[in-house]
Amino acid sequence: MNYDWLDERVEAYVDGELSGADLERFEAGLTESADLRTAVATARRIREVMASVPLPQCPEPAVADVLRLASESRRSLSMRDRYIEALRPRRRLVQVFAVAAVVAIGGSLILRDLGPQNEVEQGLADVKLALAYVGEAGRQAGDIVRIEVVDEGVVRPIRRAVSHVTGEDVNGRSQGAAAVESTRDN
Amino acid sequence: MKVREFERLVGESSDRLFGYAVHFLANREEAQDVVQDVYMRLWDNRSLVQADGAMGWLISVTRNLCLDRLRRRKVRSIVTVDSDRVGDHATSQSSPEDDASASVFEALLIDAMENLPEQQKSIVILREMIGMSYQEISDALDLPLTTVKVYLHRGRRHLRRQLATVIDSEAV
């Protein structure tokens, strides 16, 4: 009996990962060796104890402190910083629009007919194209500012303040009704 | 990462991070400081950390901060059994003798874990106590999956050999 071979496979046996000839050889070793039986019992006990130790709960004040500090940090951001932060995820989109506009205008300048009438028409077309790109970029930026800066930074705090004063939640229900509904949902 | 994502992440991960830090440092106060520090770093780096992969980032930073604290300790801490935890562990169905035996075994187990090499200790805690998958551990510690499995195997074997004498003496 090769005890080292058996000892190396105690963890796999306890995890149910042995099969076939290896499993038969290991179980034969179990009948012969008291040390191996002790090894298996110890491995099982360790798993039981570790699994039964409850995960310590993070103290509530520690989490509350973190959220408060983050909230204060956010409030200290200027309107410009908030705008930049809101635009950051869309920065690549704006960059793509800018590059596309430059390529379109530059390409049309290179390829256009140089006759006077065509030059005027081409110029007008270039202006329209550029305005279309600028307009689309502006619309995207406007949506971002409206949703992520104005709604979140201005409208929601005002609604919360109003609901705090009137005793109604943001949907116009009384706090009592909202609490009853919340309890029912739970 | 937006404010709401940050708040959600804190709610979902605080117990796991705290549990990891408590087992790593064997000290609740230090673990609490570490967890707060981790979240402030996450807040400062929220534009760089994606919410989807944040758990790995959080575990990685927690581990680094725990290691910093261990390095700062001039002497190894004496592991004490957390009386609150032992109280939670005891059940009304078990006898006082069983509870005492379980407490002793748990204390010896925690003591044995202190002697594990750092990476094995991290992996054993994350797998056995926090319940993370091999893949999550691999991502968090930036180790190949096979290395995670090998270290876990070695860590378990080390603990088993350390504690075999306890089981032997109980059997007598």
Give pLDDT < 50 ranges for chain B.
Answer: 76-93
pLDDT for res A167: 72
What CA–CA distance (Å, rounded) separates A139 from B51?
27
Q: Which of A41, A52, A88 sits opposite B89 (nearest CB)?
A: A52
B85 close to A (CB below 8 A): yes
Asked if A34 is an interface residue toward chain B (Cβ–Cβ < 8 A), one would say no
Determine the pLDDT at residue A104: 77
Contact criterion met (CB < 8 Å) for A55 and B167:
no
**Predicted pLDDT of residue B93:** 47
What per-residue confidence (pLDDT) applies to B78? 44
Question: Is the CB of residue B163 less than 8 Å away from at least one CB of chain A?
Answer: yes
Beta bridge partners of A174: A168
CA–CA separation, B148 vs B137, rounded Å?
7
- Tell me the nearest-neighbour CA distance from B13 into chain A, angstroms: 9
* A/B interface, count of CB pairs below 8 Å: 101
Nearest residue on chain B to A60, alpha-carbon basis: B14
CA-to-CA dists, residue A58 to A64, A155, B33, B35, angstroms: 11, 33, 11, 9
Q: What is the largest CA-CA distance in chain A?
A: 104
Q: Are B49 and B70 in contact (CB under 8 A)?
A: no
Query: Is residue A171 scored above 60 in pLDDT?
Result: no
Which 3 state secondary structure label does DSSP give A26? helix
Q: In whole angstroms, what is the distance from residue A125 CA to residue A168 CA?
A: 55
- Listed by start position, the domains of chain B span 3-72, 94-171
Q: Report how far residue B137's alpha carbon sits from residue B159's, in angstroms, rounded to the nearest whole number.
A: 20
Interface contact B43-A62, CB threshold 8 A = no
- When the pLDDT of each residue in chain A is averaged and rounded to a whole number, the result is 77
pLDDT of residue B38: 93
Is A51 near chain B, with CB under 8 Å? yes
Output the six-digit token pair for B98: 């069983």
* Percentage of chain A lying above the pLDDT 90 cut: 11
d(CA B48, CA B57): 11
The class of domain B3-72 in CATH terms is: mainly alpha
Contacts for A25 with CB less than 8 Å, ≥ 6 apart: A5, A6
Contact call for A11 and B11, based on CB within 8 A: no
CA distance A168 to chain B (A): 23
Checking if the pLDDT of A154 tops 50, the result is: yes
* pLDDT tens digit sequence for A26-85: 999 999 999 899 899 989 988 888 888 888 888 888 888 888 877 777 666 555 566 556
Strand partners, A168: A174
Rg (CA), chain A: 35
CATH class of B94-171: mainly alpha
Q: Quick: pLDDT tens for A114-147.
A: 566 777 777 788 888 888 888 888 888 888 777 7
Given CB atoms, is B134 within the 8 Å cutoff of chain A? no
- Single-letter amino acid, residue A81: D
B7: helix, strand or coil: helix
d(CA A158, CA A154): 6
